[in-house]
Amino acid sequence: MALKLVKDAPTVWNYLNGLVNLYKPAGFTVQQVRNTIIHNLCRDLNQLEVRPSLQRVIIDDTADSSLIVRKVEDLSDNVLVTGPRYQPDDIKCRFSANHGRFTSGVIVLGINNGTNLAFRLQQNRPLRVYRVTGFLGKATETHFAESRVTIRATIDHIGSEKIGRLLASIQASHQRKMFELSGIDIQSQAAYELACRGTIRPADNRQPMIYGIRLAEYRKPFFTIEIHAINETEAYLGELIHEIGINLKSCAHCTSVRCIRHGHFLLEDSLLKKDWNLQNIISGMAHSNKLINQHPDMLQQHSSSLQGMEEPGQ
């Protein structure tokens, strides 16, 4: 089927509904990303053929006492009076994850009617995968590189094998925690059947849970770990790097956090900041729609969630 070039802004506006996979740069807040997207969309829409001004009817008298009815432009609807046709308040946006300022990588944005899909994606809590880089030998106040150094320690005794063993123990402790929250013995048949039904999610969306963690790269003093998790925050990942340094009989702080996957939204398909324009965003929405049709479990997965442990006396 031949492609048709559309220059009519109202027609393009009707297609501006859905999810888009963006690459969030480090140092940008999600609010700054939102403002940039809305500004670029309004700019590109107003450069297309927008609707003309409304017409109003006037009645004029003539010399022979007859009346002439005619239509003229309603100046109150002229763009020089009202401003551009598409304003920032016209566009609705919602993120499916709340990345911190230091986090870069994949972030999924719902635009207009796509805000409902973004909310469902957020509530379903699919796995997110991160590459987190730490620096051994220095600890900071906030556990990130931008703050003041508080502790220094030696790192000569630390090797990749030692880090790998520590990460394996962290993963095992989180796996045990999943079943402890559900009140099921990890060695029982019930635990096996629960695990077969899909990703086990804690009922409390404030409870961080790590499903997998491994050492991706080690170049002393830098080390990079890959984390599969849900309900995580930027602060939690920074604290995790700090705790890893302590358990290694040293100290560490986080230098970068990059999200490389959110559900089935991949880093390779995300739009860079230079590509945040109307044409690329609509193309990205079309790709996201195909992805959702192929993987409907991202919006609603039929698996049991863990229930929080009941308090004594309840």
Quick: pLDDT tens for 18-75: 999 999 999 999 999 999 999 999 999 999 988 888 888 888 877 777 788 888 888 8
Is 73 part of a structural domain of the chain? no
Judgement on whether residues 248 and 146 belong to the same structural domain of the protein: yes
Is 80 part of a structural domain of the chain? no
Single pTM value for the model: 0.84
Quick: pLDDT tens for 123-179: 888 899 999 999 999 999 999 999 999 999 999 999 999 999 999 999 998 888 777
Is 157 part of a structural domain of the chain? yes
Name residues whose C-beta falls within 8 Å of residue 141's C-beta, 6 or more positions apart in sequence: 147, 148, 150
Judgement on whether residues 107 and 132 belong to the same structural domain of the protein: no
Residue 183 has pLDDT above 70, yes or no: no
Count of other CB atoms within 10 angstroms of residue 134: 25
Number of domains in the chain: 2
Domain that holds residue 298: 9-49+85-126+266-305
Judgement on whether residues 118 and 170 belong to the same structural domain of the protein: no
Judgement on whether residues 236 and 284 belong to the same structural domain of the protein: no
The radius of gyration computed from the CA coordinates of the chain, to the nearest angstrom, equals 27
Q: Give pLDDT, residue 218.
A: 95
Judgement on whether residues 202 and 289 belong to the same structural domain of the protein: no
Q: Give pLDDT, residue 296.
A: 87
Are 102 and 257 in contact, with CB atoms under 8 Å apart?
Answer: yes
Q: Give pLDDT, residue 109.
A: 96
E runs forming strands in 220-278: 222-230, 252-262, 265-266
Judgement on whether residues 131 and 250 belong to the same structural domain of the protein: yes
Count of other CB atoms within 10 angstroms of residue 37: 21
Is 228 part of a structural domain of the chain? yes
Judgement on whether residues 201 and 278 belong to the same structural domain of the protein: no
Quick: pLDDT tens for 194-205: 767 666 777 677
Is 13 part of a structural domain of the chain? yes
